[in-house]
Structure 1
Amino acid sequence: MPNLLDIELLRTFLTITETGSFTRAAEEVHRTQSAVSMQMKKLEEMIGRPLFERGARSVTLTPDGFRLLDYAQRIVSLSEEAAAVFSEPELQGQVTLGVPDDYADRLLPRVLQAFARSHPHVELVVRCEGSSSLGERIEKGELDLAIVTKCDVGEGEVIRREALNFVGAREHATHLADPLPLAAGPQTCSWRRSAQHALESVGRKYRVAYTSSSAAPLISAVLAGLAITILPESAVRPEMRVLTERDGYPALPPCDIGFLRARHARSAIHDALAHHIVTRIGNLSPAVLADAAE
């Protein structure tokens, strides 16, 4: 039977990745540096593989270290969630969350399921609008929290980064059309601007055939074989095909997904939902852990 992973070892492992230093991690977990080193040695023995590559002044995660990182985040998060369910006072009330429909059907269920389990008496009101509109509502205090496309808003914390892709329907050859019919957001949409710039950079002729601030009509146009569109990887559906450089499509810059919080949203309910958003859909972790001790 495989060794069960120790939660405290995983907490220390995560603290090292977050602080970028064995020394600072030791301060965070209230242990000596040598104790932290011993913990990581024990964790590596349990995993059976090295997790760190140590240099003179820095340490980096090995490929196995990165593999463990995702599991460690989920294991510790679930442990904290389970403890909160039985130890924290039950929260009640209402919280409003804004999210573009690009993300609603793929990313949002991860948040809703966990939040409902932990806080069954909180009413969660979800509003789907474009990122720019959500940013304005947050600023006016009409929403508590929002998940947005970062470059469309310019503020907030980046919590997730995904590849942005040209996509077409698997059952249609619309991607071969000349000029290319494009389904995209309004002119203010950063994905639209990125797609147009990329196509123009390779001399690909196109026309904007469908425009909508909602993802549903754009996806419908793609699946009907009427156009191609631009989507982050989490929104790509099985019946779609990602169009790459082999298909004659240039690479697009990544999509940064951000998190906004209104100035008034500082209660325990808001803290709880914010925690679930960041831990459930966030995927950013440091690639290099600098200034670490041996």
Structure 2
Amino acid sequence: MHAPLDLDQLHTFVTIADTGSFTRTAAEVHRTQSAVSMQMRRLEERIGKPLFEKDGRTNRLTEDGEKLLNYARRMIRLNREILAAFDDASLEGHIRIGTPDDYADRFLPEIMARFSRSNPRVEMSVICEPTPGLREHIRNGTLDIALVTHNEEKGPSEIVRTEPLLWVTSANHNVHEETPLPVAFGRPNCIWRLAGTDVLEQMGRDYRVLFTSFSATVITAAVLSGLAVSVLAECALRPGMRVLTEADGFGTLPECKIGIMRGKTEHPALVEALAQHIAESLDNISVPLADEAGAIDFAAYATARARRTKQITTAW
């Protein structure tokens, strides 16, 4: 019978993947760097597969390392949930969270499921509004925590995920070839809209804003129906969309940074617990490159992003 895996080793392994460094991991787990390296050697021996490979002066996760990472996160999460289920002093109360609907559809199911399993006594209230409105709620004290699109000029937030910002059109229409280009954007102060119009103007491309809405559902409908081109984060891609690249004549957009904002709250422990679950959930979510019917058509984009590996600086 195989001996069980060591949760402590798995925790160190996940920390290496998250921090990108054996040195920083040693500080995080309160061990020496040599002890961390020894843990990883023992984990590789237990798995029977190499988890890291040399890439110049750095090491990175192998395919088996990436495979183990998903299982390791699940085991650590389950361990926390088991402990929370038997913890008489577990968190309880009410917490108010806000998010744009762009992120709600993709991220909230994972966030709410993880948090509720670990904190069954906590009641959650969720509102969906664009980022500017969520910032106001945070300032006014009507939200405890918000998942927002990070904008340096509008105030600080803790960045927990970075995604490409993409030009999208319908996979079944050629609206992106029209002149002027019909576009569907958020309201005038939407950071994605500003990024899109800046690129179009730099390209010298004539365009007209055909649809304006703070609702991601409306923007998505305009794209899928072949009425307009839009700008969306990777997480907002849907079956039936096509990603437009430089090969289609569309310039590169800046990255989308997703952050957490904390409000003044009477329940700081709840906020910190939820913030941790949000960060872990978003780190564990990947975008599907196609549905069962292969309806998402972004071959050029998929090729460019087919192999995303984490570079891990280490000294063995």
Contact 2:84 / 2:90 at 8 angstroms: preserved in 1?
Answer: no
| Residue 146 (str. 1) matches residue 160 (str. 2) | no
Contact 1:147 / 1:259 at 8 angstroms: preserved in 2?
Answer: yes
Change (3 A) 1:79 1:227: same
Q: Give the Å deviation of 1:176.
A: 1.6
| Cα separation, 2, equivalents of 1:286 and 1:239 | 27
| Cα separation, 2, equivalents of 1:265 and 1:15 | 30
Higher RCO (Cα < 8 Å, 6 or more apart): 1
Q: Where in structure 2 are the equivalents of 1:112-127 lying within 5 Å?
A: 112-127=112-127
Residue matched to 1:101: 101
| Cα separation, 1, equivalents of 2:149 and 2:3 | 41
| Cα separation, 2, equivalents of 1:156 and 1:240 | 30
Change (3 A) 1:91 1:34: closer
User: How many residue pairs are counted as aligned between the two chains?
Assistant: 291
Residue matched to 1:60: 59
| Cα separation, 2, equivalents of 1:229 and 1:287 | 30
Which segments of 5 or more consecutive residues in structure 2 lack a partner in the other structure? 286-307
| Cα separation, 2, equivalents of 1:160 and 1:283 | 10
Q: Give the Å deviation of 1:206.
A: 0.9
Q: Which amino acid aligns with 1:217?
A: V
What TM-score comes out, normalization by structure 2 length? 0.81
Query: Deviations for 1:95-150, whole angstroms, at most 9, x for unmatched residues?
Result: 11000011111111111112222223322111111101101110111100000000
Contact 2:161 / 2:259 at 8 angstroms: preserved in 1?
Answer: yes
> RMSD of aligned C-alpha atoms?
2.9
Residue matched to 1:110: 110
Contact 2:84 / 2:119 at 8 angstroms: preserved in 1?
Answer: no
| Cα separation, 2, equivalents of 1:219 and 1:236 | 9
| Cα separation, 2, equivalents of 1:103 and 1:19 | 24
| Cα separation, 2, equivalents of 1:199 and 1:47 | 52
| Residue 228 (str. 1) matches residue 249 (str. 2) | no
Query: Deviations for 1:25-75, whole angstroms, at most 9, x for unmatched residues?
Result: 4454344443322211122232512415387xx643244445544543443
Q: Where in structure 2 are the equivalents of 1:157-176 lying within 5 Å?
A: 157-176=158-177
Q: Give the Å deviation of 1:184.
A: 0.2
| Cα separation, 2, equivalents of 1:68 and 1:265 | 39
Residue matched to 1:203: 204
| Cα separation, 2, equivalents of 1:181 and 1:209 | 6
Contact 2:51 / 2:62 at 8 angstroms: preserved in 1?
Answer: no
Change (3 A) 1:138 1:172: same
What TM-score comes out, normalization by structure 1 length? 0.86
| Cα separation, 2, equivalents of 1:194 and 1:184 | 11
Which segments of 5 or more consecutive residues in structure 1 lack a partner in the other structure? none
